[in-house]
Amino acid sequence: MDLAIYGAQGTALGAYEAIHNFCPARNIRCFLVTERGSNAEYLSDVPVLELESFAGSLSAEEKENIEVLIATPENMMGAIEISLDRQGLFCHVRLTSQRWAELMNSHYTCGKDFLPLRVLPVGYHRADMHVFMAKFYKDKPLAAHYELPEWIMPIQAGAALCVERVADILDCDGESISAKNENYSELTALYWIWRNRLQRPSADSRHEYYGLVHYRRILELTEDDVLRLIDNEVDAVLPYPMPYEPDIEEHHRRYLKKDDWNAVQRALREIHPEYARAFSGILKQKYFYNYNIILARKEVLAEYCGWLFPVLERVEELSIPKGADRTDRYIGYIGETLETLYFMYQKNRLNVMHTGCKFLV
């Protein structure tokens, strides 16, 4: 049976790479989208086709021999299933975030890049975990109950911008940039963690791990994974990167204006010239760390934040218009870019491992 992959972004392309790696003989006919829009015409030399025109070109018998793998954000999958059924494509399956993570676990175990945390042996020492989950007062309730691990603590991001409270920990308490949340998004919570938790002395910070996840995106960490951190000297755990074609520079053009991009490059040249020199090479590869989600040893995360936020502050100053005069999430997008730059630049110094990112619906 032939396969079509519904989706044309990082999740879909990652699924294609893994399936092609494990089953090179499997015929993947196309990527499917509702509308072409700004999507590429081809991904990995496989055509990207609109659902209606693709289904209209098939006979009833051909439709029975097509399996569709839905590789999109999970909140879109229900509507996509209805559209597929209307077009007579009844053989379809959801590639949920959990299934995608399992696929990536197997895919990256076969190589040297982006190794899964679970390839490491289970240790004997349990890490002292402090992971903050960014929540916003406009977040819609989850459709299903999700029991948070005891090491995840909700923090309200952008708390300075409203009177409503959705968490006991607020990113406007202590030293903060909470009022900049419209630009920084979840990074106002990371700033709060840096200034109010990471800079405090501790008896044994080697055993302490701090991190940031989202209201709807949670790092998938089992109890065995928590036991893998200390004894294997893991410096950081990041979600599996998303692949983009032809490279991640193309991805940035969708979300950032040219002036903003120029501001990033100038800020790096001024503050971290060694990273600025490496930037063009990293931009020309295709793997990108989304979401500003991270777990790291206390001193590693403090070092990263001390590198990141001065760059973002300088970008604000150089932006046209300046950050205070706009309400888009551009600094949040830039943060994802800089996280990719930092950890790929540091890959030979830091022991960075990877895991899935569960999407909560």
Q: What does the domain layout of the chain look like in residue ranges?
A: 2-95, 117-359
Say whether pLDDT at 145 is over 90: no
pLDDT tens digit sequence for 150-179: 999 999 999 999 999 999 999 999 999 999
Distance CA 332, CA 138 (A): 17
Q: Give the pLDDT score at 290.
A: 93
Distance CA 211, CA 89 (A): 42
- Locate 189 and state its tokens: 């919570």
Q: Report which of residues 10 and 112 the model is more confident about.
A: 10
Q: Report which of residues 111 and 227 the model is more confident about.
A: 227
Of the candidates 66, 55, 69, 62, the one whose C-alpha atom is nearest the C-alpha of residue 19 is 69
- Domain covering 2-95 in this structure, CATH number: 3.40.50.20
Q: pLDDT band for position 254 (50/70/90)?
A: confident
Q: Give the pLDDT score at 202.
A: 67
pLDDT mean across residues, the chain: 94
- Locate 231 and state its tokens: 């004894």
pLDDT tens digit sequence for 304-337: 999 999 999 999 999 988 877 888 999 999 999 9
Residue with tokens 């020199």: 277
Of the candidates 295, 285, 275, 286, the one whose C-alpha atom is nearest the C-alpha of residue 345 is 275
Please report, in angstroms and rounded to a whole number, the separation of the first and last CA atoms in the chain.
31
Q: Give the pLDDT score at 322.
A: 81
Pairing status of strand 28-33 against strand 287-288: unpaired
Pairing status of strand 169-170 against strand 152-156: parallel
Pairing status of strand 352-355 against strand 208-214: unpaired
What pTM does this model have?
0.95
Q: pLDDT band for position 354 (50/70/90)?
A: very high
Q: Give the pLDDT score at 249.
A: 86
Q: Give the pLDDT score at 111.
A: 82
pLDDT tens digit sequence for 189-245: 999 999 999 987 666 666 799 999 999 999 999 999 999 999 999 999 999 999 999
pLDDT tens digit sequence for 259-310: 999 999 999 999 999 999 999 999 999 999 999 999 999 999 999 999 999 9
Say whether pLDDT at 142 is over 80: yes
Q: pLDDT band for position 144 (50/70/90)?
A: confident
List of residues 6+ apart from 46 with CB closer than 8 A: 16, 28, 29, 30, 31
Q: Give the pLDDT score at 204.
A: 65
Distance CA 311, CA 226 (A): 32
CATH among 3.30.565, 3.90.550, 1.10.287, 3.30.450 for 117-359: 3.90.550
With a pLDDT cut of 90, the percent of the chain lying above it is 86
With a pLDDT cut of 70, the percent of the chain lying above it is 98
